[in-house]
A and B are shown apart, each in its own frame.
Chain A
Amino acid sequence: MITIERLQATAEELMRRAAIEIPEDYLTGLKTAAAAEDSDLSSFVLEAMLENYDAAKEDGRAMCGDTGCPRWYVKMGNEARVDGGPVALEAALRRATAKATSTVPLRPNRVHPLWRTDYDNNVGIGAPEIEYGFEPGGDWIDLTTVHKGGLFGTDYRMLFPSDGIQGIKRFFLDSLVAFGKRGLACQPAIIGIGLGGSKDACMVLGKRAACLRVVGDRNPDPKIAELEDEMKVLGNSIGMGAMGFVGKSMVIDCNIEIGFCHTGGMQMSVHAFCLSSRRAVARIYGDGRVEYRTNPEWFTDYQRRETVEWPQS
């Protein structure tokens, strides 16, 4: 049985880590991009960002003043049990979000869309988002928090089978060019692409591809993996870099996730994470052990299953 105290304490620590510590996979990707960059302005920006990550860690302060919109991904092993059940779990995550907002501190970004009411704690109607997944076996819960920036770098389009790969590439470039100017997408970033599903499912897939997969990870479908490589090269061929200055780096990596869709359509979404790719993960076991990591490992064979039954026969 996982206790609520353990769950809330872990969630608070995750909030702190996500805001302050740049994940190693993204850091390595950005260092590679910085080494390859030869434009004065883009180089200056990337070097300043690398210095900024060190400063954040040394001082224990958030990497970016805009600490994004905290959200939670909860994945439960089939044998996991939480003291107080899912309602207690959700309350613990809301408490951890509110508490960390003042202790880290984070920027209280969340407001009512019309009345702009701000409780100064990043909690409100529908905030933070809490999404769920399940996994066969295991008495653990994987808690992932992502603090994604909220305004720029995301788009959706209904494409059709006849648009093909050419159409996918076109919309990908359009999204990068539109949001890359003046650096509004806070690039270079991990770009997530959702293909298929329905409009809402497609947005969810793309966001998860950007936020829940790490740099260097590849889709298990070899042809999709190849497309991920191709899209990364394509995005970096625009000639635009950090802040929309002339440069070589828009895309640190490109991750594609798919879902089966209506036979007539080919939905596509593009999501840019940012230069402060805030994500932190912990696995909490039934016996109270907690293991921290930065790879959400969200997309397992089970999450991507395409058979009726599990395990596959």
Chain B
Amino acid sequence: MATELKKIRLSTSPTDEALAALQIGDIVYLDGVVYTAREGVYKRVIEDGVDLPLDLPMASAANFHCSPAATQHDDGSFILGAVTATASFRFSKWIGAWLAASGAKLIIGKGGMNPEDYRDHFVPHGAIYLTTVGYGTGALLGRGVKAVCELHWRRELGLAQAMWVIEVKNFGPFIVESDRHGNSLFERENAKIAANIEAAYNGTKPAVLKRFGETDDRQDELI
């Protein structure tokens, strides 16, 4: 069926006005430069105190939680096939320090982050979260990559954790998961589903043997 969702083209160095206009559930396509950074880069910069290898956020304000399916040839050239995000909730412990260090305004990943991360870190830094779709539309995102501009820390972190700097055009789709006020699309959907979930459990019963830490509250999120 045709969807009524709003589709937006957004710069990877977005203006305040452009960020403020985004609403949760909007579909976004990016133009500009995106870099990958996940636990390897976060640890190296935040815990080990290594200087950033490029000028952020001048070069880009868009941090992608991604390891591309890519190869670097011996001559230094690249094949970059598919790109998809990795689950972001695991990076919670670094995200505040990272937003401060990098000036990132767009965090792009899989599955969003906790409401507390939005409230305590994203909102004060004026950042929003874009989630990939699917997951994942790796081939469609791969098509949006125009060039690999730089590859940093390939030797130190390996291909998957290295910092890939990529030029993108009409790169998407992404969905706005958190807005400038810290509202979360996933939280909204979780709440809607929770209202009806008990009906699905009719005719089932709890296991005879309980497990340590078990909860019967299905509104709890076990991530």
**Interface residues, chain A, CB within 8 Å of chain B?**
19, 37-38, 40-41, 43-45, 47-49, 51-53, 55-56, 59, 61-67, 101-109, 111, 116, 118, 120, 151-152, 157-160, 162-163, 166-167, 169-171, 173, 177-178, 181-184, 186, 234, 237-240, 242-246, 274-276
Contacts and interface: CB of A to CB of B under 8 A. Distances in A.
Contact of B69 (A47, A53, A65): A65
Interface string B81-98: 111111100000000000
Interface in B17-46: 25, 27
B196 interface: yes
Interface of B: 1, 3-5, 25, 27, 66-71, 79-87, 110-112, 131, 133-143, 158-161, 173, 175, 185-186, 189-190, 192-193, 196-197, 199-201, 203-209, 211, 218, 221-223
B138 A64 contact: yes
28 contacts: A40-B3, A41-B5, A41-B175, A44-B3, A44-B133, A44-B175, A49-B137, A52-B134, A55-B139, A56-B138, A59-B143, A103-B71, A118-B160, A120-B158, A152-B87, A160-B209, A167-B208, A171-B207, A173-B200, A183-B110, A183-B111, A184-B87, A184-B111, A234-B200, A237-B200, A243-B133, A244-B189, A246-B189
B134 A181 contact: no
A244 B66 CA distance: 20
Nearest to B196: A239
Contacts of A160: 208-209
A65 B211 CA distance: 35
Contacts of A47: 3
A234 B161 CA distance: 39
A102 B138 contact: no
Contacts of A186: 134-136
A107 B136 CA distance: 14
B69 A67 contact: yes
Given A62-B81, A182-B112, A107 B67 contact: yes
A61 B134 contact: no
Contacts of B143: 55, 59
Contacts of A102: 71
Nearest to B154: A120
B134 A246 contact: no
Nearest to B201: A173
A243 B208 contact: no
Given A66-B136, A159-B208, 16 more contacts: A40-B3, A40-B4, A59-B143, A61-B138, A62-B69, A62-B138, A63-B139, A67-B69, A101-B71, A104-B81, A105-B81, A108-B159, A158-B209, A166-B204, A169-B204, A170-B206
